[in-house]
Structure 1
Amino acid sequence: MTQQLILDLLLPSAPSLDNFVVGENGQALDALRNWETGHAIYLWGPPGSGRTHLLRATASGLNGLYHGPTDSPAILKDIATGDYLQHRLIAIDNVELLDADGQAALFALYNRWREVAATRHSFALILAGDRAPMAMPLREDLRTRLGWDLVFRLELLSDQDRAEVLKARAGERGLQLSPEVISWILTHYARDMSRLSELVDSLDSYSLEKRRAITLPLLKDFLASSQT
């Protein structure tokens, strides 16, 4: 088992808007905090920019629905054509992966969203993909709809931002991480800050168990113990 795989096995904290590390994405975060029914938000950016984190966090509220790439497009079709709308917010992730049926279902959902936007049955659409609306590998009429309302590009955190967050997370637990440890983590770990925070928590517990400070040898010992 590789070190990267061991690190990936650490369970992340539940995504929320509060534990999303903003970086240069303040406008997108503000829009998600203040979403309104009858409006749509489209987020796009590279892997690791926080798209799924933000969609899951936003949909976790009252009457929200998260639809991921492995979920059936029939779910969206049923919402678009059903008599009763039970969700006030529908978040649809990885739009670029939708097949023909999924695209048809999303097109119907957009039409339903527009039809009820000014009524008491209105709902919000939050969508995410890996590229700008007009560059999406989707049918033309659907690409156009992705850009109908608010569109935000999500930027990756810089290594400096991630290093500062690691230091702050460690400081909250009364820990000090050496530059050597931080550099190793940034080199070997994913960019998802919730996963980085979980790693700091796990290292804290391990260092308490071993009664040793968090150093690079301790980190490597922790990885070795995770293999057993």
Structure 2
Amino acid sequence: MNRQLLLDVLPEPAPSFSNFIPGPNDEALAGARALAPGHAAYFWGPAGSGRSHLLRALAALPQARYFGADADPQALRDAPDAQQPPRLIAVDDVHLLGEEAQAALFALYNRWRESAASGRAFALAVAGDRAPMNMPLREDLRTRLGWDLVFRLALLSDTDKLAALTLQAGDRGLQLAPEVLNWILTRYERDMRRLATLLDALDRYSLASGRAITIPLLRAMLADQEANRPQ
């Protein structure tokens, strides 16, 4: 098979509650599952802790909308006034918001509070990389991040990451030997998003080469990637 014409047999699984490995973050997962209209939750933790996974899982629910840090501020401001108002609005990576987007999120929090006891109530899920009062945001918005529920997420342990890798490999139809999984964890990036990307690349490389997934195949793939890296 030509490596430039790789065929994706299985798409990358979308973030969901079922493929979230909680590890020490059981409380955050439970809070996300229980988030109902009229309530707000702020999820914070370092990159790779799963905060974006939870927000995308929430945004996959019926009548939910997701906004990243690069979203149009006006679209964020207008979200509650849509012809079919969402039951949940998720706003990710708020530590990256510019001034206009911060003003839009401030207005959204006010609308969330005003509508909480009405038939137009919606849930608000927000995520960032640090505790509310340490956020590099305008003061009145920092205060609103802590208005309702706040959940701190921690990075997974190696045992938790091994479980996560095993689950994600299974979702892709891959059966990886324990020595391959251990090699990945001890020799490669430990950020779960990077590890998920590695699994996708390994799946494609295995198909392209017609070889089973082994440590030698993994080494060959990484060597090819390094050789083809733009100088």
Match of 1:32 in 2: 32
Q: Give the Å deviation of 1:84.
A: 5.2
Partner of 2:66: 66
In the alignment, structure 1 segments of 5+ residues that lack a partner are 1-10
Deviation at 1:15, TM superposition (A): 1.0
Residues 42-81 of structure 1: CA deviation (Å, up to 9, x unaligned): 000000111111111111111111000111111122236x
CA deviations on 1:142-188 (whole Å, 9 max, x unpaired) are 11111011100011111122124435666896845243x33331231
Partner AA of 1:206 in structure 2: S
The structure-2 alpha-carbon separation of the partners of 1:85 and 1:194, relative to structure 1 and needing over 3 Å to count, comes to farther
Cα drift, residue 113 of structure 1: 0.7
For 2:78, give the aligned amino acid. D
SS in 1 for 2:199: helix
Name the Cα RMSD after superposition. 3.0
Q: 2:52 aligns to what? A: 52
CA distance in 1, matches of 2:97, 2:128: 10
| 2: CA distance, partners of 1:101 / 1:63 | 25
Is it true that 1:15 corresponds to 2:15 in the alignment? Answer: yes
Deviates more, 1:55-64 or 1:200-209: 200-209
Distance 1:83 1:221 in 2: 51
Cα 1:165–1:113 change in 2 (3 A) is closer
| Counterpart AA for 1:43 | F
Rounded to whole Å, the distance in 2 between the matches of 1:94 and 1:196 is: 20
Retained in 2: the 8 A contact 1:69–1:93?
Answer: yes
Tell me, in whole angstroms, the C-alpha distance in 2 between the residues paired with 1:131 and 1:87: 27
2:158 matched to 1:159? yes
SS in 1 for 2:78: helix
Q: For residues 126-141 of structure 1, what are the structure 2 equivalents within 5 Å?
A: 126-141=125-140
- How does 1:88-107 map onto structure 2 within 5 Å? 88-107=87-106
Q: SS at the partner of 2:126?
A: strand
Question: Gaps (5+ residues) in structure 2?
Answer: 1-10
Which position in structure 2 is the counterpart of 1:8? none
Q: Give the count of matched residue pairs.
A: 215
Contact 2:59 2:66 (C-alpha < 8 Å) held by counterparts:
yes
1:114-125 → structure 2 map (5 Å cutoff):
114-125=113-124
Q: Deviations over 1:74-114 (max 9, x none)?
A: 1122236x485611100000111112211111111111111
Alpha carbons of structure 1 residues 44 and 97: separation in structure 2 relative to 1, 3 Å = same
